[in-house]
Amino acid sequence: MQKIRKGDDVVVRVGKDKGKSGRVTKILKDNKILVEGINQAKKNQKPNPNAGISGGIVTKDMPINISNVGLYNPTTKKPDRIGFRFLEDGKKVRYFKSTNEVVDV
């Protein structure tokens, strides 16, 4: 079980996009994630008529390390750390460490 999953709202804690928030679109290897609208770079793309791709300059989301983001806590409206706990029925859930609330996902 991962602390940050696809579809979670996260806030960037360090780097050039510090303070910006977005939704996780993909989890990559080596503890990296893709967040929509965060860590964007411009790339030159070659046209490919067979695939219907036009060439030009494209803005692309680049990976960011998972340690540089925090899960958005709606009660405190800040990024928060995540922990794991077992409920009475034996189910493993994530919770916010500052407020001890279970993450609703």
Amino acid at 67: S
Q: How confident is the model at residue 104 (pLDDT cuts 50, 70, 90)?
A: confident
CA-CA-CA-CA torsion sign (7, 105, 79, 69): negative
Predicted confidence (pLDDT) per residue in 61-95, tens digit: 999 999 999 999 999 999 999 999 999 999 999 99
Segments of the chain assigned E as strands: 9-12, 21-28, 32-35, 40-45, 56-61, 64-65, 69-73, 78-80, 82-86, 92-96
**pLDDT computed for residue 1 by the predictor:** 66
Residue extents of the structural domains in the chain: 9-46+56-96
Banded pLDDT at 2 (limits 50, 70, 90): confident
- 104 or 13, which is more confident? 13
In the prediction, which pLDDT does 105 show?
A: 53
> What is 9-46+56-96's CATH number?
2.30.30.30
22-40 pLDDT tens trace: 999 999 989 999 999 999 9
